[in-house]
Amino acid sequence: MFRRGNKSRSGSGGWCSPVPVLFVFLIVVLLGFTLLFQYDGRKGDSPIGLVKQKWNGFESLVQLSPTVEAVNGTDLVWQIPESPKAVLFLAHGCSGRALNFWDRSQTCPDCVGLPEERLIVLEALSRKFAVIAISSVGRCWSFGEERMIVKGIIKRWVAKRRLDNLPLVALGASSGGHFVSLLATDLRFSSIVVMIAEGLYDQMDISKDYPPTLFVHMPKDEARKQRIDSNIRILKDEGIDVAEIKCMEFPLSPNFLADRVPGLGESISTKLFDLLQEKSFIDKNGYMRADGRAIHLKAALRKSKIVLPDKGLIHHIQEELNLAYAYHEMTSLQSEKIFKWFESHMS
């Protein structure tokens, strides 16, 4: 029995202890502050927790070891894990190429291994996706004859490796996203991902067997966001399963570039962070003030005492700065959601 003298009357006419009520109140307040700091209005679906993923985070799971072929005047790069469960076609953006998706190695001496591209491939291989990437003939993808050429390359490659019984999926970024959106009318993909692109849906007739489509985009590009919103409505009206992932800006830290760029190292990463602050390329909270393509980083490096281990790393660094600014860049930060999308449409 509880003594009434140690109780306070509840609003419902019963008796309740003030201690549990206070405890619940504190929990609610704490939860509210947690959500407030996680979603602060500017960041939306913030990837701050995701950027802790390091460039060598897959080292114990899978190694990059591609095969490179020259087919129809372009590069074909591929890798098949043991016991593959699906096939992923990757289409780069303008000025990209298939060689960007794998690290330089004995099997691929001309490979580049850009940070975001290589992490997408590593995620795919760790999930038992065979990966095939093809370089566009020109700077960007074209949408006529090249589409038919790529369709033929993929079909022959899949058949030759006896993978034609597996689900086929695709991911394209920017120009590659437009290309994949159209290629999906020629090849039977179980689902596709259109990244930082709205797709070419105003140039095609959408049938009910068009594959489920996931848009991964950066809403800071407001004009593109509006076109994506429109195309999402078009696909939904046709009964197509469609979803979107919004990629938001996030602040840099001294170790960020070392965590994302192979071969950079923490010391140089910290010096680069200091340089970005010194030149006011980032604000007091670490957010990029402009896209990485627009900040004259090369000129600032030349005037500094920072020596990169490899001059080619400037492109890797710039990609990560573009990613942090979140206007238009390939991203691996949402890989888990992307591959869950693929896997949920493979049955």
Number of alpha carbons in the 13 Å side-chain half-sphere of residue 287: 11
Kindly state the tokens that stand for 5.
């003298």
According to DSSP, the β-strands at 74-79 and 86-91 are: unpaired
| pLDDT tens, residue by residue, 132-191 | 999 999 999 999 999 999 999 999 999 999 999 999 999 999 999 999 999 999 999 999
* DSSP-derived 3-state class of residue 90: strand
DSSP string, 182-215: HHTTTS--SEEEEES---SGGGSPPPTTSPPEEE
Tens digits of per-residue pLDDT, 5-18? 333 333 333 333 44
**What pLDDT is attached to residue 103?**
96
pLDDT greater than 80 at residue 39: no
CA nearest 193: which of 146, 142, 123? 123
**Each residue of 18-27: pLDDT tens digit?**
445 445 445 4
Counting other chains too, the contacts that 20-24 makes at CB distance below 8 Å and 24 or more residues apart are none
**Residue 241 burial class via C-beta count within 10 angstroms: exposed 0-12, middle 13-18, buried 19 and up:** middle
Mean pLDDT to the nearest integer, 331-346: 97
Residue 98 sits at the vertex; the CA angle it makes with 96 and 100, to the nearest 5 degrees, is 65
Residue 322 and residue 329 in contact, taking contact as beta carbons nearer than 8 Å = yes
- Looking at 3.30.360.10, 3.40.50.1820, 3.30.300.30, 3.40.50.300, the CATH number of the domain 52-249+329-344 comes to 3.40.50.1820
Give the whole-angstrom CA distance, residue 186 versus residue 197: 19
Alpha carbon distance 193, 243 (integer Å)? 10
Element (H, E) at 278: helix 266-278
pLDDT tens for each residue of 206-261: 988 999 999 999 999 999 999 999 999 999 999 999 999 999 999 999 999 999 99
- φ/ψ of 34, rounded to 5, equals -60, -45
pLDDT for position 59: 83
pTM given for the model: 0.86
Summarised one tens digit per residue, pLDDT across range 63-114 is 999 999 999 889 999 999 999 999 999 999 999 999 999 999 999 999 999 9
Tokens (6 digits) for 285 = 């909270």
More confident residue, 124 or 5: 124
Tokens 């979107």 -> residue: 244
pLDDT at site 13? 36
> How buried is residue 202: exposed, middle or buried, by Cβ count under 10 Å (0-12/13-18/19+)?
exposed
* pLDDT value at 31 more than 90: no
Q: Is residue 50 predicted with pLDDT exceeding 80?
A: no
Can you tell me the distance from the alpha carbon of 64 to that of 101, in angstroms, rounded to the nearest whole number?
Answer: 9
With the C-alpha atoms ordered 244, 187, 141, 333, is the resulting torsion angle positive or negative? Answer: positive
Assess whether pLDDT exceeds 80 at residue 28.
no
Q: Is a pLDDT exceeding 80 seen at residue 271? A: yes
Q: Which residues pair with 171 in a beta bridge?
A: 90, 193
Confidence of residue 32 (pLDDT cuts 50, 70, 90): very low
